[in-house]
Structure 1
Amino acid sequence: MSKTVPSAPPVADAARRGSPLRIEGLGLQIGGATILKDVELDIAAGSLVGVIGPNGAGKTTLFNVISGLMKPTSGRVVLDDRDITTASVPARARAGLGRTFQTASLFPKLTVLENVRLAAQVSLGGSGSLLRFPRRTDAATELALGKLDVVGLSHMRDAMAGDISHGDKRKLEIAVLLATESSIVLLDEPMAGVGSGDVPGLVENIRAMQREKGCTLLMVEHHIDVLMGLVEKVAVMYFGTIIAYDTPQRIMENPLVQSAYLGTGSAGTEAA
């Protein structure tokens, strides 16, 4: 079913701090259905940007295209002025792109420390083999321990990753990202399934990651109140396209956004 998407106001430039991540005219069609359409996004270096939208708006699909899990049918993904639209997932990781998923992506039968240490040893130029862990006193181990301290998991270093709580798994994922060289991080619903008591600590972990690495964060999150208090800019997706990109306050006041969430406005082609 096809409908018309209302025009969005011009996307604000990220000029002063540069734009390490640019999405230019991104489109994706699957089986004749338009999933993403003319997505434009310019992310300022060192910023924290939220992506919101109703269910089915295309948020996770956009992350899949940016991270290389899906290939777009039109447009470009540009990382630090390099076109990575057709680059592999490992190539994007080497270029500095990191990502978490809606469900934790860890090695459940390795310890908390071993999960971070594996990322650290690769970041330091060592082997990525699970069979070749460094000694417990080398640089990779020290780096891993430091990142566990940042997220408050040092006391759980010897616990199996599969045995810790969901909230702690999310913190562990952040520690893994901290141990890599990722300069641009995609956080896909980091609060999903996390108990309310763990949310403040996880929010502080995200802030700590940005402070420590000076990285650029792009974050999808359904906890709107949490996201609005955390990010600098918000991109609103609606039926596969971005209809607004502005500060949290202006987004909340935007009648186009209110219409999209209340379901009273016109819509575009169904998105996944």
Structure 2
Amino acid sequence: MSTPVPSAPPATRGSRLQVAGLGLQIGGATILTDVDLDVAAGSLVGVIGPNGAGKTTLFNVVSGLLKPTAGQVLLDGDDITTASVPARARAGLGRTFQTSSLFPRLSVLENVRLAAQVSLGGSGSLLRFPRRSDAATELALEKLEAVGLSHKRDSAAGDISHGDKRKLEIAVLLATETSIVLLDEPMAGVGSGDVDGLVGNIRDLHREKGCTVLMVEHHIDVLMGLVDKVAVMYFGTIIAYDTPQAVMDNRLVQSAYLGTGAAG
């Protein structure tokens, strides 16, 4: 039976995320080992590491898609280790994926309006279409304006560029009561011309809502200029967790991740 999870906190306050002694074994293979991470409420934290280091797996465990074989996941001190994905969402945990999770046949506006509709206490029904006087529609239009997609509101989500899809995902999150956001490689596949705009959208998500942001990103130069702290994963565990500059100066990180030592 899933652990009860409290209602979502106010959107203006981020949640504290703690991962303690997290472990995951699948089919006899060890994927995560003794992962400890404490993400302060309202902070913006990056997660880096080589391919196969366990970054997306960590996100899958935190978001409830995978159940750990050891350890705990805590949201504002409440144990959500066994809570369902919907229960975590109701508690304020939102996530984007490496591949888009949008409704491709619905319009850009309809994608955001669905999130706004639920946030305002309605259902997630696809049968209610936007009306000019609808509060959810007004909220959705406001968030599309915030990410610079108002001009594409009538386009099918599946027809817009990859960079715009990422912006649309941010707009969806802005329209919810999310207090902590997991961004899984938000810059992946995004053209260079869209990077600055997407970075601005992430900053807005962090500042406007005051939410906590935890993001995996391979674009190190982009990440280091955006986050407060960086967690470095290597072979399923965290080997460093510090400010961007301290992480870049860390000899273990240089050896294991940046390839300047024997482990490179």
Instruction: Provide the TM-score with structure 2 as the length reference.
Output: 0.92
Structure 1 counterpart of 2:142: 146
2:71 maps to a residue whose letter is G
SS at match of 1:120: helix
> What is the CA distance between 1:146 and its match in structure 2?
0.6
Structure 1 counterpart of 2:173: 177
Structure 2 counterpart of 1:77: 73
Distance 1:263 1:177 in 2: 38
Structure 1 counterpart of 2:49: 53
Gaps of 5+ in 2: 1-12
Structure 2 counterpart of 1:27: 23
Structure 1 counterpart of 2:100: 104
Cα 1:172/1:133, change in 2 over 3 Å: same
SS at match of 2:222: helix
> What is the CA distance between 1:138 and its match in structure 2?
1.4
1:258 aligns with 2:251: no
Distance 1:32 1:147 in 2: 45
> What is the CA distance between 1:135 and its match in structure 2?
2.6
SS at match of 2:53: coil
Cα 1:200/1:18, change in 2 over 3 Å: closer
> What is the CA distance between 1:20 and its match in structure 2?
1.2
> What is the CA distance between 1:114 and its match in structure 2?
0.3
Distance 1:162 1:49 in 2: 30
Q: Which moved more, 1:112-121 or 1:136-145?
A: 136-145
Structure 2 counterpart of 1:243: 239
Distance 2:53 2:103 in 1: 31
Distance 2:16 2:35 in 1: 17
2:159 maps to a residue whose letter is D
Is the contact between residue 19 and residue 42 of structure 1 (CA under 8 Å) also seen in structure 2?
no
SS at match of 1:54: coil
1:60 maps to a residue whose letter is T
Distance 1:43 1:49 in 2: 7
Gaps of 5+ in 1: 1-16, 268-272
Structure 2 counterpart of 1:233: 229
Structure 2 counterpart of 1:10: none
Is the contact between residue 113 and residue 157 of structure 1 (CA under 8 Å) also seen in structure 2?
yes
